Amino acid sequence: MRTRAFVVAEMLLALTARGQGPGDAARAAREAAGRGQTTEALEQVDPEVKATAGILIAPLLQDKARKAQAKGGVTSVAVEKVDTVHADHAVVTTVTHYGDGSTQADSGKVRRVEGKWYITM
């Protein structure tokens, strides 16, 4: 007979094992890029994209950080919408909020690779 605590533990383990969702990957990448955390942002990029275009991505991320700082820095990023294309691909719309009160909506593709979601092209 299972105890209530055991059932709750199983549920928590199952939720943890699922990992991040497509919106989490997009939000984390946009937050890191906007705050100038290039290494953290690159961790959210699809490994295949990094392998072929990695040298071009870091300058783009640095430019995004400069633009964000000009707007007072990123204060938060919210996931507005996730459109699932199929099980391993989705399009995520995020809204970035800046320190000067402005916002910016962006949409981008994400892809699941071996259970982890990454931003992709």
Give the CA dihedral 91, 92, 93, 99, nearest 10 degrees.
-150
Residue with tokens 């990029």: 45
Instruction: Give tens-digit pLDDT for 17-72.
Output: 345 899 999 999 999 999 999 999 999 999 999 999 988 999 999 999 999 999 99
Tokens of 110: 């994400």
Q: Which domain holds residue 63?
A: 20-120
**What's the pTM value of the predicted model, to 2 decimals?**
0.77
Instruction: Decide if 14 is inside a domain.
Output: no
Count of the separate structural domains present in the chain? 1
Q: Domain with 31 in it: what CATH number?
A: 3.10.450.50
39-65 b/e (C-beta count within 10 Å ≥ 16 → b): eebbebbbeebeeeeeeebeeebeebb
Residue 112 lies in a domain: yes
